[in-house]
C-alpha cells in the first residue's frame, strides 16, 4: 500500500469524519465522499475544530497541514481515483452496506483494499457479490476513531490473508491499535463486551437497584479508570494476591451465580423511555452536540496524557 497511501473515506458522518482525521494526521492524502449535503457542509468546520483541538493538546504538529490533506469529492469515482485503501462508513444496515460496497467494488482498482466500519454486521453479509470480495474486511473503530485508537479487523471467509495483513500494517502506521478477530461473530469482540455490560446496566436500572447517574458513576469513577489503560483480564490478574487463577478461585462462584440470575431479553420500551426522560433532564437534546465536543476534548487530553506517559499506541 506504500508509506502514505491515498485513502478514500466513503460516508462522512460521525465515524467517517473521524477516520478522515486519522489518515490525514498520519500524512495520507484523504478523499472524502458523502452524498448528503448537510453532512458535506458540516465536515470542513468539524475537521478544523478537531484538528485545532489535536494541535492544542500536542497530538499533531500543524492543524493547517492536516486540514490541507482532506479533500471533499463530488462523486465516488473521484474519491476512489488513486486510492489504495477505502474506509467505508455508511449506515449500519445490510442494504446500505451492500449498495455502498457494490459501488466501491465497481469503481476501485483490483489492488485497492476496503475496510468497513461496520459495528457488528459481518462482511460476509454484504460483500459476497463484489468482484473483489477478497479485498474486503471489517475495520471496526470506536467513536471517535481519531481519539480512541482500537480497530477490530475481522475477515470474511473469503478475505485474502494478505489484505488483512496490509490493513493491520496500515493501522499500526497511522497510530491505531488493530485487534484481530479471527472469525466472524455478530458484534465482533468490542460490542459483545459492551453488550454484556449494557444488558446488565439496563436490567439493574429497570429493577430499580440504582439510578442511571449512579450506574454511570460506577463506570466513570470506578471500573472505567482502570479500563482506560488495562483490560479486564489484566485487571483481575492484579486483583488477587496469586493473580488471575487466584481471582477465579475466589470469585468464579459469584460470577456464575450472577449469570444464572439473568435470561436474555429485549431492552423494555418503557424502560428506554424512562431513561430517555431521565437523561434529557440532565442534558437537553439541543445540547447533545456540544457535549460530544466536550467528550472529544476530554478524550484528547487523555490521549495526550497516555502519550506523554508511555501508555499510547
Ligand atoms: N457512531 C458510532 O459510535 C460508531 C462507532 C463505530 C462504528 N460505527 C459504524 O460506522 C458506520 C457509520 O456510522 P456513523 O455513526 O458515522 O453514522 P452516520 O449516520 O453519522 O453517518 C453515515 C453517513 O453515511 C452516508 N452514506 C450513506 N450511504 C452512502 C453511500 N452509498 N456512499 C457514501 N456515503 C453514504 C450518509 O449520508 C451519512 O452521512 C456504521 O457502520 C456504524 O455502525 C459507528
pLDDT, tens digit only, all 313 positions of the chain: 777 789 999 999 999 999 999 999 999 999 999 999 999 999 999 999 999 999 998 889 999 999 999 999 999 999 999 999 999 999 999 999 999 999 999 999 999 999 999 999 999 999 999 999 999 999 999 999 999 999 999 999 999 999 999 999 999 999 999 999 999 999 999 999 999 999 999 999 999 999 999 999 999 999 999 999 999 999 999 999 999 999 999 999 999 999 999 999 999 999 999 999 999 999 999 999 999 989 999 999 999 999 999 998 8
Q: Where are the beta strands (DSSP E) in 210-281?
A: none
Nearest to residue 102, comparing CAs of 137, 123, 135, 129?
A: 129
Q: Is 5 in the pocket of ligand 1 (CB under 6 A)?
A: no
Q: Is 100 in the pocket of ligand 1 (CB under 6 A)?
A: yes
Fold type of domain 190-282: 1.10.1040
Top CATH class, 7-180: alpha beta
CA 271 to chain CA centroid, Å, is 27
At residue 7, what are phi and psi to the nearest 5 degrees? -120, 135
Contact 107, 134 (CB under 8 A): no
Specify the DSSP class assigned to residue 29. -
Query: What whole-number distance in Å separates Cα of residue 173 and Cα of residue 233?
Result: 27
Ligand 1 atom with the smallest distance to the CA of 120 is 43
Q: Which grid cell sits at 280?
A: 434529557
Query: What whole-number distance in Å separates Cα of residue 313 and Cα of residue 47?
Result: 22
Q: Which residue's CA is minimally distant from atom 35 of ligand 1?
A: 11
* Domain coordinates in residue numbering, the chain: 7-180, 190-282
For the purposes of burial, counting CB atoms within 10 Å of the CB of 34, is it exposed (0-12), middle (13-18) or buried (19 or more)?
A: buried
pTM of the model: 0.93
Q: Is 17 in the pocket of ligand 1 (CB under 6 A)?
A: no
Q: Do domains 7-180 and 190-282 have the same CATH topology?
A: no
Q: Is 89 in the pocket of ligand 1 (CB under 6 A)?
A: yes
Please tell me the distance between residue 54's alpha carbon and the centre of ligand 1 in angstroms.
23
Query: What whole-number distance in Å separates Cα of residue 309 and Cα of residue 287?
Result: 33
Please tell me the distance between residue 117's alpha carbon and the centre of ligand 1 in angstroms.
8
Q: Which grid cell sits at 286?
A: 439541543
Query: What whole-number distance in Å separates Cα of residue 149 and Cα of residue 303?
Result: 9
Cell 485474502, located at residue: 160
Amino acid at each position: 500500500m506504500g508509506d502514505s497511501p491515498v485513502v478514500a473515506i466513503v460516508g462522512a458522518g460521525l465515524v467517517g469524519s473521524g477516520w478522515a482525521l486519522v489518515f490525514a494526521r498520519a500524512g495520507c492524502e484523504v478523499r472524502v465522499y458523502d452524498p448528503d449535503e448537510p453532512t458535506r457542509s458540516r465536515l470542513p468546520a468539524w475537521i478544523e475544530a478537531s484538528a485545532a483541538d489535536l494541535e492544542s493538546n500536542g497530538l499533531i504538529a500543524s492543524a493547517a497541514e492536516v486540514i490541507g490533506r482532506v479533500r471533499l469529492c463530488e462523486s465516488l469515482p473521484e474519491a476512489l481515483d488513486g486510492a489504495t485503501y477505502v474506509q467505508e462508513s455508511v449506515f449500519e444496515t445490510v442494504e446500505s452496506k451492500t449498495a455502498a460496497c457494490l459501488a466501491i467494488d465497481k469503481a476501485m482498482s483490483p489492488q485497492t483494499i476496503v475496510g468497513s466500519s461496520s459495528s457488528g454486521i459481518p462482511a460476509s453479509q454484504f460483500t459476497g457479490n463484489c468482484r473483489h470480495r477478497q479485498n474486503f474486511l471489517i475495520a471496526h473503530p470506536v467513536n471517535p476513531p481519531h481519539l480512541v485508537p482500537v480497530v477490530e479487523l475481522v475477515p470474511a471467509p473469503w478475505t485474502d490473508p494478505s489484505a488483512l495483513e496490509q490493513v493491520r500494517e496500515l493501522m499500526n502506521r497511522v497510530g491505531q491499535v488493530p485487534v484481530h478477530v479471527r472469525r466472524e461473530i455478530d458484534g465482533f469482540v468490542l460490542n459483545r463486551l459492551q453488550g454484556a455490560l449494557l444488558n446488565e446496566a439496563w436490567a439493574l436500572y429497570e429493577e430499580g437497584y440504582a439510578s442511571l447517574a449512579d450506574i454511570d458513576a460506577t463506570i466513570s469513577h470506578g471500573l472505567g479508570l482502570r479500563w482506560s489503560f488495562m483490560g479486564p483480564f489484566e485487571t483481575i490478574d492484579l486483583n488477587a494476591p496469586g493473580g488471575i487463577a487466584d481471582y477465579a478461585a475466589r470469585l468464579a462462584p459469584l460470577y456464575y451465580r450472577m449469570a444464572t440470575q439473568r435470561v436474555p431479553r429485549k431492552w423494555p420500551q418503557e424502560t428506554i423511555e424512562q431513561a430517555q426522560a431521565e437523561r434529557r433532564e440532565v442534558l437537553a437534546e439541543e445540547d447533545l452536540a456540544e457535549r460530544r465536543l466536550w467528550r472529544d476534548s476530554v478524550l484528547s487530553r487523555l490521549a495526550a496524557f497516555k502519550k506523554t506517559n508511555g501508555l499510547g499506541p
